[in-house]
Structure 1
Amino acid sequence: MRTLFTLLFLYMGMLMFGQTSDRTVIASAGGQLVSKFQNVSFTIGESAVGYVSDVLSIDQGFWASEGILVIPISPEEPELQIRVFPNPVVEELTVTTAGNELLAMHIFSVNSKRVLVQLVQETRLEHKIDVSHITKGVYILQLFIKGKGLKEYKIIKN
């Protein structure tokens, strides 16, 4: 009887099959780099996990919509010659603008609380910010530059 049940379970196990989820990569490119000590295989594509079958199925892969937007990064835009020093700062932070007109300076804590707002009334090459009243920590300095937008710097207060 025990042998009969064992054979019955083995036979039922062979008849049953389930869905398998295999991890595969749909690669558009790739290659293999081999040296004496290392072997590196790589692919450029996306990983896909899905139902594997023998029949043709359109249920795996990446479906791109028609609304793809590509925003190019313009290398022609010159880098702003702005220096913020000393960093870490103790009492006074110096911002040199190298000819860029500064409109305002804001300092935010890392939890987005505005700590300081300083509007710039005159065009100068060097601006001083008194940070002696600010507690020790990490802050974000936002500089609003005329015609150039917003520039941010991480400041450490000791």
Structure 2
Amino acid sequence: MNNTIIPVPANFRGYDQAQRDRFFGVLEIPVPFSLLNTNNQISVQLPDTGGHISSVALQVFNFSKNILSVNDYTFENDKVITVYPNPVDEELSLQSTSENILNATALIYTASGKLVQKQTIPNLNSKINVSNLTKGIYFIQISKENKKLKSIKFSKK
């Protein structure tokens, strides 16, 4: 892969069809993300004669970032939206230096993605009552005009 030798696993999907002249199986070769480029060169060398490769598919499962975590997004002209305290007990505070946050929507989701609370942000320093939430991990997403502006993971005591 891109001039780096990667050991090929001995196992494959399907079973050894030794009685057949031709056999089609799927061999999955794990490739570290760090070896991937925008344009990749892939070559596979078979240890025995008569083997053929009918197709190659590159499917990425490991990413440069943890895709299960929520990324921070900022307003185009803002650069700062703060959510605190974390962990929280009763009230979550939202603070911004930009008026772009005015009338945005705060959506609170469980770790499994269920929407549990929704509130409009009326001013630059707003509070969200989360006392009704059970103890656990949540995500607050700040959105305006159907555009996600920021998402933050927080825990409820």
TM-score relative to the length of structure 1: 0.52
Q: Quick check: 1:48–1:61 contact (8 Å CA) kept in 2?
A: no
Distance 1:63 1:50 in 2: 16
Matched ranges for 1:115-154 at <5 A: 115-120=116-121, 122=122, 124-145=123-144, 149-154=148-153
Runs of 4+ residues over 4 Å off in structure 1: 43-50, 60-64
Partner residue in 2 for 1:10: none
Residues 23-76 of structure 1: per-residue CA shift (max 9 Å, x gap): xxx44269xxxxxxxxxxxx9478876633468x76288568xxxxxxxxxxxx
Partner residue in 1 for 2:115: 114
- The number of equivalent residue pairs is 106
**Residue type at the aligned position of 1:52:** P
Where structure 1 has 5 or more consecutive residues not aligned to the other structure, the ranges are 1-25, 31-42, 65-76
**Residue type at the aligned position of 2:53:** D
Question: Considering only CA atoms, is the larger Rg found in Structure 1 or Structure 2?
Answer: 1
Where structure 2 has 5 or more consecutive residues not aligned to the other structure, the ranges are 6-33, 59-75
What is the DSSP-based 3-state SS (H/G/I as helix, E as strand, rest coil) of the residue aligned with 1:28?
A: coil
The structure with the greater share of residues assigned to strand is 1
Q: Greater RCO between the two (CA within 8 Å, min separation 6)?
A: 2
The structure with the greater share of residues assigned to helix is 1
Partner residue in 2 for 1:17: none
Note closer, same or farther for the CA distance 1:44–1:86 as it changes in structure 2 (3 Å cut).
closer
CA RMSD of aligned residues (A): 3.6
Q: Percent of counterpart pairs with the same letter?
A: 30
Shift of 1:101: 2.2
Q: Quick check: 1:110–1:138 contact (8 Å CA) kept in 2?
A: yes
Note closer, same or farther for the CA distance 1:148–1:115 as it changes in structure 2 (3 Å cut).
closer
Distance 2:94 2:4 in 1: 47
Asked whether 1:59 is paired with 2:33, we answer no
Partner residue in 1 for 2:105: 104
